Amino acid sequence: MLGSGLDICLVESGGFTPDAETQALCDLQSTGYPVRENFMSRARYFGGSCNLWAGRNMTLNDLDFEARDWVPGSGWPIPHAEVTRYYPRTFEILELPTLDRVTPEFLVKGMSQDERRLFQDGPFAPTLSLWPKSATRFGSAFGSELRRATSARVLINASVTSLALNAAGNAVESVRAATTDGRQVEIRARCVVLACGGLENARLLLASRDRQPEGIGNGTDQVGRYFMDHPRAVFGKVHLPAGVKVPMLRGRPLSDGKLQVGVGLSPSTQRREGLLNHYVTLELQTSGYAEAKYQSFIQTMKVVLRRGYAGSRWDFARSHMTRIPDMIYLLSPKELMPHLVYRSYVALRDAIPSRPAPRTYVAVYFCEQPPDPQSRVMLSEETDRLGVNKLKLHWRIGDPVRQSVFRMQELLGRELERTGVGRLEAGDGDPLFTDASHHMGTTRMSASQRDGVVDTDCRVHGVTNLYIAGSSVFPCAGHANPTLTIVALALRLAERLRAL
Ligand SMILES: Cc1cc2nc3c(=O)[nH]c(=O)nc-3n(C[C@H](O)[C@H](O)[C@H](O)COP(=O)(O)OP(=O)(O)OC[C@H]3O[C@@H](n4cnc5c(N)ncnc54)[C@H](O)[C@@H]3O)c2cc1C
């Protein structure tokens, strides 16, 4: 948008580093399936949650955009091509390996014989996760450009508390913001874009009740519903015999980034068996830890390393720091080493001809959660220090997610054995899920106001100058981490706004 001739005012709740008071404005009440603590799932300061993110990028696929009769409420009201059109620039912004790395031919070329057997003529299709050399932190990547721009102003430490509509209730007249020490500011603009993250976007609409007591855009009771994440579960183990090689499944460095292949359910398997779009990756086994603890330790460690924690460091130290040596053990070489060192390490390892010894990996399931109107956020009676009602999050994962995990596990066991690639040790009991901090669906895109909050231009139904950016507009989550799609949709929205 810079250089478009438009005057831009970016209103940011936090400062340039995390602080506990501002971070606490995100505190919420969880009444459904448990979610991770506030400081681990969002960063409320300049640059947003991408100050913490892992930088894993995936594209949605055609089936994710289709209305599937076995997934109620599925389908996007725009074709997939409306998003892929923006991929070339999206890949540049995210500093990802070039698009030609995403082709099936490229993947097959890089696979070992064992990996090819696993994917040939079976129920699976490879999924592809891409990383840049190091995860893009939007605050530092674009901060100086914003600072230099004469057409943009950035207000930091200004938390938006509500939006005020005009008397007719069909346009935003002003945006109200406050500092944590009580100063107030009112901003007027021709167009307003809410880009406060998948939970706060819905919260601000619900909390803006001057003209519409049910909240802005909520005439049909859609705001806050359909909350989705990507439930993740460490469930079971995969034993590989001596000699089996799985380089792509374990992840490869490239000259311009990294990639990792996952074992996904192919579109035809999903169609035939009525399954969700799940995939599995093989990760290092965790010695000495119960499976359920594996992810929370890894995630805690990663957040600490990325300076995301804004609570009391003393409390944190008491509860977690003593375990840091074990946590470091859980991080893979690619997360601990700079890109060049990691690449050299892998190249050196590969140059020494060797027959791999038998190995065991844990199977990590990354799941699609279907849209469910009962999985939702609402306003709680409690307010934050700025007087805005906190959110009550009722996360409901639903049986279809579990059923797809169990079926996928069966298929994985069968295929590993059929192809001689390995043996599955099935997970015990019910999978224990964690959220992935992918907050989606709460202001979903829809063709009509009856079943959503924003239209196909990401404009709030019935409000002429209010737009929403972010994964809250996703009507369906698919299997892919959301940020790549968020960036592509933001580019699309910027194009629309420039044309106004
Ligand atoms: C630990 C972790 C790991 C992750 N890993 C991945 C990954 O590997 N791949 C992936 O695709 N995604 C990942 N994510 C998710 C990713 O970070 C989000 O999808 C992405 O940051 C969402 O971007 P956004 O701009 O919509 O929201 P955010 O990044 O949350 O930005 C919202 C911004 O709005 C500000 N704000 C909030 N409320 C207000 C208010 N009332 N007034 C003014 N400003 C406000 C916030 O301070 C923030 O700057 C991860 C997230 C976490 C926490």
What ligand 1 atom has the least distance to the C-alpha of 198?
A: 26
- Residue 180 CA to ligand 1 center (angstroms) comes to 20
Asked if 58 contacts 129 with a C-beta cutoff of 8 angstroms, the reply is yes
Asked if 164 contacts 207 with a C-beta cutoff of 8 angstroms, the reply is no
- Residue 390 CA to ligand 1 center (angstroms) comes to 18
Q: What is the pLDDT of residues 117-136, one digit of tens each?
A: 999 999 999 999 999 988 88
Residue 324 reports pLDDT greater than 60: no
Are 91 and 169 part of one and the same domain? Answer: yes
Ligand 1 near 258 CB (within 6 A): no
Are 69 and 212 part of one and the same domain? Answer: yes
Work out the pLDDT band at 100, boundaries 50, 70, 90. Answer: confident
Ligand 1 near 45 CB (within 6 A): yes
* Ligand 1 pocket: which of 27, 49, 180 to mutate (most atoms within 8 A of CB): 49
Q: How many CA atoms lie within 13 A of 70 on its CB side?
A: 16
Q: By residue range, what is the domain housing residue 355? A: 105-131+232-366+398-432
- Residue 318 CA to ligand 1 center (angstroms) comes to 27
Can you give the pLDDT at residue 290? 41
Work out the pLDDT band at 214, boundaries 50, 70, 90. Answer: very high
- Residue 195 CA to ligand 1 center (angstroms) comes to 9
Can you give the pLDDT at residue 354? 78
- Residue 46 CA to ligand 1 center (angstroms) comes to 10
* Ligand 1 pocket: which of 42, 130, 163, 196 to mutate (most atoms within 8 A of CB): 196
User: Position of tokens 């001057």?
Assistant: 210
Nearest CA to ligand 1 atom 35: 196
| 7-21, 298-312, 467-481: the lowest-pLDDT one | 298-312
Nearest CA to ligand 1 atom 48: 48
* Ligand 1 pocket: which of 9, 22, 46, 50 to mutate (most atoms within 8 A of CB): 50
Q: How far apart are CA 313 and CA 319, in angstroms?
A: 10
- Residue 37 CA to ligand 1 center (angstroms) comes to 15
Can you give the pLDDT at residue 346? 75
Are 287 and 170 part of one and the same domain? Answer: no
What ligand 1 atom has the least distance to the C-alpha of 201?
A: 38
Are 146 and 273 part of one and the same domain? Answer: no
- Residue 397 CA to ligand 1 center (angstroms) comes to 21
The residue type of 496 is R
Q: Taking residues 458-480, report their average pLDDT.
A: 97
Buried b (16+ CB within 10 A) or exposed e, 239-271: ebeeebbbebbbbbbbeebbbbbbbbbbbebbe
What ligand 1 atom has the least distance to the C-alpha of 56?
A: 8
| Ramachandran angles phi, psi of 262, nearest 5° | -115, 165
Are 260 and 339 part of one and the same domain? Answer: yes
Are 57 and 152 part of one and the same domain? Answer: yes
- Residue 228 CA to ligand 1 center (angstroms) comes to 15
Are 209 and 259 part of one and the same domain? Answer: no
Ligand 1 near 87 CB (within 6 A): no
Ligand 1 near 41 CB (within 6 A): yes
Residue 247 reports pLDDT greater than 50: yes
- Residue 437 CA to ligand 1 center (angstroms) comes to 8
Ligand 1 near 44 CB (within 6 A): yes
| Ramachandran angles phi, psi of 253, nearest 5° | -80, 145
Can you give the pLDDT at residue 36? 85
CATH number of the domain encompassing residue 33: 3.50.50.60
- SS3 per residue for the chain: CCCCCCCEEEECCCCCCCCHHHHHHHCEEECCCCCCCHHHHCCCCCCHHHHCCCCCECCCCHHHHCCCCCCCCCCCCCCCHHHHCCHHHHHHHCCCCCHHHHCHHHHHHHCCHHHHHHHCCCCEEEEEEEECCCCCCHHHHHHHHHHHCCCEEEECCCEEEEEEECCCCCCEEEEEEECCCCCEEEECCCCEEECCCCCHHHHHHHHCCCCCCCCCCCCCCCCCCCCECCCEEEEEEEEECCCCCCHHHHCEEECCEEEEEEEEECHHHHHHHCCCCCEEEEEECCCCCCHHHHHHHHHHHHHHHCCCCCCCHHHHHHHHHHHHHHHHHHCCHHHHCCHHHHHHHHHHHHHCCCCCCCEEEEEEEECCCCCCCCCEEEEEEEECCCCCEEEEEECCCCHHHHHHHHHHHHHHHHHHHHHCCCEEECCCCCCCCECCCCCECCCCECCCHHHCCECCCCEECCCCCEEECCHHHCCCCCCCCCHHHHHHHHHHHHHHHHCC
Q: What is the pLDDT of residues 51-71, one digit of tens each?
A: 988 899 999 999 999 999 999
User: Position of tokens 């311009």?
Assistant: 256
Q: How far apart are CA 155 and CA 9, in angstroms?
A: 7
Are 44 and 157 part of one and the same domain? Answer: yes
Are 424 and 472 part of one and the same domain? Answer: no
Number of domains in the chain: 2
* Ligand 1 pocket: which of 13, 45, 53 to mutate (most atoms within 8 A of CB): 53
Q: What is the pLDDT of residues 272-302, one digit of tens each?
A: 999 999 999 998 775 333 445 555 566 666 6
Are 184 and 205 part of one and the same domain? Answer: yes
Nearest CA to ligand 1 atom 3: 53
Are 243 and 306 part of one and the same domain? Answer: yes
Work out the pLDDT band at 341, boundaries 50, 70, 90. Answer: confident
Beta bridge partner(s), residue 148: none
Q: Cα dihedral sign for 336, 91, 118, 269?
A: positive
Q: How far apart are CA 211 and CA 166, in angstroms?
A: 8
Residue 234 reports pLDDT greater than 60: yes
Are 218 and 149 part of one and the same domain? Answer: yes
